[in-house]
Chains A and B, each alone.
Chain A
Amino acid sequence: MTTTSDTYNFDPTAPADSRRSGGITGWASRYVDERTGISYVVREFGRKIFPDHWSFMLGEVALYSFVVILITGTFLTFFFQASMAEVTYDGSYGPLKGLEMSAAMQSTLHISFEIRGGLLIRQVHHWAALLFVASTMLHMLRIFFTGAFRKPRELNWVIGFVLWILAMAEGFTGYSLPDDLLSGNGLRIIAGMVEGIPFIGSWILWLLFGGEFPGTAIVGRLYTLHILLLPAAVLAFIALHLVFVVTHKHTQYAGPGRTNENVIGVPVLPVFAAKAGGFFFVVFGLLMLMGAFFTINPIWVYGPYDPSPVSAGTQPDWYIGFADGALRLMPGWLGGPGGVPMEFVLFNTTYSLNILIPIVVLGLFIVAVMLYPFLEAWVTGDKREHHIADRPRNMPSRTAIGAAGVAFYTVLFFGASSDLIATHFKVSIESMITILQFMLVLGPVLAFFVTKRICLALQKKDRQIVLHGTESGRIVRLPGGEYIEVHEPVDEYERWKLVAFNDYEPLMLRPNAAGRIPVTERARAAISRLFFEDRIEPVTSTELEVARHH
């Protein structure tokens, strides 16, 4: 293997023929380097090592789908008109002919029905947006469950978290642009929620929509956010995110030869570049196939926005589902009608708890997601850098907390489709909502305990394998007539994967210098106990020795 510095000589005093080597490429790289110093960058990053694992590709999918969004989105801006001016439709789609609609809706129909390839690009854009949010979230789950957010990556977790929020904002603003019946209804719901905010709600709505809902300003304003402000923010945060990935170097899973102080994998040039670059084209190609074969958001079926028509069974884009589900699962009257109203008037102002509680609960959930790395760091008190990603089972409490969060999110998500689920399972809408309300509370608790038990059981199994080997399925008869199954020992490489993990013990409370135990330390000890009271320790060499002699 060679590095660039081998073929490219810096020394200006070197003989001319050696400096002029390399033909046209050599000339071009010299030209650029002499004006930019780029060879320094190539030396530093050209052979940078990236570890390889399928789970590391989730973040890549997010990045690539965003690039696809930028490419297809730019095409769409050439045809889309972000205006709510009223026009009469006279395009190709018969059923809507003669209908009054906004220029936004009309131009979206024009893209879909008159521009060659327009529908394709529009659908690829939408599919890519859905994939962007989905892969962002899966990537977050991967980071969470493998503890890849630990020092020194806590801030990068927060940056990634911001990207998740931005991705949803991008999705929602884009979804609203065509000004069709569905997206108009979505905006109506947002407007209604905003209205319920204390003190400033009605004013925020007034300023956002330029007057009353729906007004004539919102599509233009969302468009500015959607194609200027939000993409700029996404790009800036992605850049920051990647700078940190480079600074920290990628995490790797425990394995033979892999330590906390090295990275083992493939170099950027050529293998990683080929793999990652190829993967971008695969993602783009698959999205293109989806756009070619699967209709998404057929606005012509819904028609232009009108505040009055019925729209039963309609769904928001999936990533907004959890918010809509929260609105649905919040009862208006605690204990049923006649119970405690969740909206009341006090001193001539209205408090809409039926709106506020879901907003606050969602807010707390999201903030908890953002702050988890800091909580865990505080509980363990571990100030070391961690570059070996955990197997989820080896940190049972964290995995259980993650599972509880996933359960909570999932119940809210299904809440948004409660009517469809109810019809599917032939139960009443009312009982479906009640079931989901119970599950929202019980589900996370259940998920926590079940997951923790499963993790501990898996850890025990790992210990068994390390100490006594794997069951070979071979039964032998001992001279004494007894039957046993032969256990095959694992080799040292496999064994290392099973024993290479951190474990923590619960915090022991000790009085500080003043002879007191502060409340914060008590709280920390309590959480630490919840985390680490049940724990399985990695097999030590002593234990292995003992097991061998049995």
Chain B
Amino acid sequence: MANDTNLPGHDGPSDSLVPVSTADPGTAVERSDALRNPGLPPHRLRVTDTDPKKAKTAERVIVALFYVSLVGSIFAMAAYFAFPIKPNDLGSVRLNNVFVGIGLSFALLAIGVAAIHWSKVLMDDHEGIDIRHPVKGDPKTQARAVEIFRQADRESGFNRRVLIRNGMIAAFAALPFPAIFLFRDLGPSAGTPAEAFSHTMWKAGTRLTKDPTGDPIRASDVTIGSVFHVIPEGLNDTEDVLEEKGKAAVLLMRLEPGDLHVSPEKRTWNYDGIVAYSKICTHVGCPVALYEQETHHLLCPCHQSQFDITREAAVIFGPAVRPLPQLPITVDSEGYLVARSDFHEPVGPSFWERRGDYNV
């Protein structure tokens, strides 16, 4: 076969950089005085080709490596039993991991290194040559392919019997739609996402409780500068804790009432400087939970949006646009903090159906 020979394989006009074919070279420059390909340099022998002793050594190394692999496999199996995982003992997990891993690594690496070494130093390394042919079919094949399509058209009347063809196309066009419909029940069949996103568990009178214990919080517990991670009372007993928590989680903190800039319609939403804001970022929904006491800034760890609590959680930096929704709060007769109502707008990230007339 041609590729078993050591011919340079660049005879004829083919020593140019791109084939001298009829294809359009575009704006490529073709020079008549371009330098010519000098052809393959003479083959160089390796030491293992010339020195039988070196070849013998190489052979021994390769054999040894294959046996190293075998030992590695046995080692891995032995380690599996020698380093068992003992209940409640994390150290045993680590030992098992490391020793089984070492055994397997050697088993694998040694095979790999042996095979590569073998191919490099002992296997024949004469350059092989394959000749390329244009990727496209030769003109005869192309012509035959065209003829086959023509013949198929003649025999079926695909282009002649237009009604059949169009009917078929119509049938195929309609076929995917039932499949799309079948996906409807991926989501719940009652309600719409917009409705679900717009309400949380909070109702008038729901107590603010600590996350995760669920202990109610007295207004007097909330000292100036302190922060509470808050969930609505009864959250832990609901069916879908995570879904509800993902909307209802709240941060509670107390500021000097004088530090708060409160807009007139939200005058009653704080209680003596205690304010509650949704913890779900208005960017894409991470928990905004880093509170800087001195500046009264909230920072979202996901994309660094920052909200100023003294100015009703307005965005002061980052990719979020809207302020965190505020939960209107007050205290009940026993002095516990309670919600005055649900949030007045959807919490969390924006969505298409989100209206512009909340808060009014």
Contact = CB atoms under 8 A, between A and B. Distances in A.
B179 interface: no
B301 A311 contact: yes
Interface stretch (A232-240, A263-271, A401-409, A476-484): A263-271
B10 A259 contact: yes
A264 B129 contact: yes
A23 interface: no
Given A1-B4, A256-B38, A282-B113, A262 B246 contact: no
A207 B186 CA distance: 5
Given A92-B85, A342-B319, 5 more contacts: A205-B351, A350-B354, A388-B18, A430-B317, A537-B29
A257 B41 contact: yes
Given A343-B321, A385-B23, A537-B29, A192 B109 contact: no
Given A279-B116, A332-B315, A541-B35, A202 B229 contact: no
A116 B96 contact: yes
Contacts of B229: 308
A328 interface: yes
Interface stretch (B214-222, B257-265, B283-291): B283-291
Given A260-B19, A342-B321, A504-B29, A352 B350 contact: yes
A8 interface: no
Nearest to B246: A307
Contact of A189 (B34, B108, B286, B290): B286
A105 interface: no
A285 B112 contact: yes
Contacts of B41: 256-257, 493
B337 interface: no
Contacts of A386: 18
A3 B305 CA distance: 68
Interface string B319-335: 11110000000000000
Contact of A354 (B108, B125, B187, B321): B321
B127 A332 contact: no
Given A92-B88, A116-B80, A540-B35, A383 B352 contact: no
Contacts of A211: 187-188, 196, 243
Which has the most chain B C-beta neighbours within 10 Å: A286, A293, A343, A532?
A343
18 contacts: A1-B126, A92-B90, A188-B284, A191-B285, A205-B193, A261-B131, A279-B116, A288-B108, A289-B102, A305-B242, A306-B212, A308-B287, A331-B319, A332-B319, A383-B25, A385-B18, A429-B304, A541-B33
A15 interface: no
Interface in B94-126: 96-98, 100-102, 104-120, 123-126
Interface in B193-249: 193-194, 196-197, 211-212, 229, 231, 240, 242-243, 245-247, 249
Given A152-B135, A195-B351, A206 B193 contact: yes
A496 B38 contact: yes
Nearest to B76: A117
B5 to A, nearest CB: 9
Contacts of B84: 116
A215 B127 contact: no
Interface string B167-201: 00000000000000001101110001110110000
B267 interface: no
A550 interface: no
Contact of A387 (B127, B132, B289, B354): B132
Contacts of B93: 92, 112-113, 119
A260 B16 contact: yes
Contact of B132 (A195, A263, A330, A493): A263
B238 to A, nearest CB: 12
A223 B128 CA distance: 46
Contacts, number: 443
B132 A313 contact: no
Contacts of B100: 116-117, 120, 292
A111 to B, nearest CB: 11
A332 B9 CA distance: 63
A355 B354 CA distance: 15
B334 to A, nearest CB: 26
B14 interface: yes
Interface in B1-59: 1, 3-4, 8-10, 14-19, 21, 23-29, 31, 33-41
A503 B28 contact: yes
A350 B279 contact: no
Contacts of A297: none
A218 to B, nearest CB: 11
Contacts of A265: 127-128
A492 interface: yes
B128 A354 contact: no
A282 B318 CA distance: 45
Given A348-B356, A429-B304, A262 B242 contact: no
